[in-house]
Amino acid sequence: MITAWGKNAIVEIGDDVRISGCSITAEKHIKIGNRVMIGSGVLIMDTDAHPLDAEERQKNFAPKTAPVVIEDEVFIGTRAIILKGVRIGQGAVIAAGAVVTKDVPHGSIAAGNPAKILGTIPRIITN
């Protein structure tokens, strides 16, 4: 499911992207690069959806938003959550069930809630 909540919301999806039953919600801007794989049940949002403060919710204040950028060749595991303002670097792997609240450098492996960097992806060189 891809939802554009904002009047001028943009969802960019690159070439050869594989999406398996997830939810992408953009208030302003979500960009997904080329050759990205997104597992089942993943949630990607560039907004808090509602203000966190109860009084602001009652007054219908706008929620906080920040763009999400997922660079090329990223793999996002089943039921991971990617929150507003996050950039996931090229070739990174997001483990199943991770809650990503901060940027993930290229080639990194991130897991947990909140997601933390566990290591990097070793490149396999063949002749």
pLDDT for 49: 75
Which of the residues 29, 31, 35, 50 is marked catalytic?
50
What CATH code is assigned to 2-120?
2.160.10.10
Q: What is the pLDDT of residues 63-86, one digit of tens each?
A: 788 999 999 999 999 999 999 999
Name the residue ranges covered by the structural domains of the chain. Answer: 2-120
Q: What is the pLDDT of residues 87-104, one digit of tens each?
A: 999 999 999 999 999 999
Q: What is the pLDDT of residues 16-71, one digit of tens each?
A: 999 998 999 999 999 999 999 999 999 999 988 776 777 777 777 777 889 999 99
Strand order in 115-120's β-sheet?
A: 18-19, 37-38, 75-76, 93-94, 108-112, 115-120
How far is the C-alpha of 35 from the C-alpha of 37, rounded, in Å? 7
Instruction: Indicate if 106 belongs to the active site.
Output: no
How much is the pTM?
0.88
Strand order in 10-13's β-sheet?
A: 10-13, 29-32, 68-70, 87-88
Q: What is the DSSP letter of 22?
A: -
How far is the C-alpha of 64 from the C-alpha of 56, rounded, in Å? 11
Tokens 């794989």 locate to: 37
